[in-house]
């Protein structure tokens, strides 16, 4: 009996050792195979791009720049460029150019003509308009001129011209050109500008 029990114990130990050695390798092999299978399967969860295609570069604009610039001509610039960039393309302003005559920060448009005046040309544009002659000597008669004619006088707009007509009706006319200073808003400064262009005769 004792020998039989010892044999049984040894058999159990042998089986246990066998299982541990064999099953361990099998388990390891199974784990490796499972891992390899898992790694072999891949899924692409990348979402489709919703970005719009890159915008095309802006189209060019052709502008004609002339006047007081070094190299007048037609130049091509990217859409959205400014007038100062067009001036630079034309070699910059000339020595006699009036720099404040145009808004150099303004955006150019295709087909635009940009003219840079000289200082002399700009000064001529700022001169007061000459009075339309209505009398024999070319001066405007305060007692007979209509509102449009009165508005051709330097410094006389629609409001002042209307006041001149109202004064003329209320007072029966002007006795002298100095009477115009009786009108609100027309004082010595305005009178000095227009005295050579007006008459009451």
Dihedral, CA of residue 179, residue 185, residue 186 and residue 190, to nearest 10? 180
Residues 65 and 121 in one domain: yes
**pTM greater than 0.75 (yes/no):** no
> Is 34 a domain residue?
no
Question: How confident is the model over 116-162, as pLDDT tens digits?
Answer: 999 888 877 665 555 444 555 789 999 999 999 999 998 898 889 99
> Is 174 a domain residue?
yes
> Is 116 a domain residue?
yes
Total domains, the chain: 2
Residues 69 and 111 in one domain: yes
Domain containing residue 154: CATH number: 1.10.150.320
Residues 184 and 151 in one domain: yes
Residues 163 and 117 in one domain: no
CB atoms closer than 10 angstroms to residue 175: 10
Residues 67 and 121 in one domain: yes
Please, are residues 116 and 83 in contact by the beta-carbon 8 Å criterion? no
Token couple for 94? 């000339």
Q: Which domain holds residue 188?
A: 140-199
Token couple for 68? 């007081």
Please, are residues 89 and 75 in contact by the beta-carbon 8 Å criterion? yes
């Amino acid at each position: 009996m004792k020998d039989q029990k010892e044999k049984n114990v040894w058999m159990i130990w042998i089986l246990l050792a066998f299982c541990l050695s064999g099953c361990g390798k099998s388990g390891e092999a199974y784990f490796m195979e499972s891992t390899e299978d898992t790694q072999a399967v891949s899924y692409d969860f990348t979402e489709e791009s919703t970005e719009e295609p890159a915008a095309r570069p802006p189209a060019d604009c052709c502008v004609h720049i002339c006047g007081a610039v070094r190299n007048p001509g037609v130049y091509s610039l990217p859409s959205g460029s400014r007038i100062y960039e067009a001036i630079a393309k034309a070699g910059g302003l000339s020595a006699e150019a009036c720099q404040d005559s145009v808004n150099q920060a303004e955006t150019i448009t295709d087909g635009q003509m940009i003219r840079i005046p000289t200082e002399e040309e700009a000064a001529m544009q700022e001169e007061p308009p000459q009075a339309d002659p209505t009398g024999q000597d070319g001066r405007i008669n305060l007692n007979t001129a209509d509102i449009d004619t009165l508005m051709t006088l330097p410094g006389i707009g629609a409001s002042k011209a209307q006041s001149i007509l109202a004064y003329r009706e209320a007072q029966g006319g002007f006795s002298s050109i100095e009477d115009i200073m009786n009108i609100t808003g027309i004082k010595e400064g305005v009178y000095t500008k227009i005295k050579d262009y007006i008459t009451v005769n």
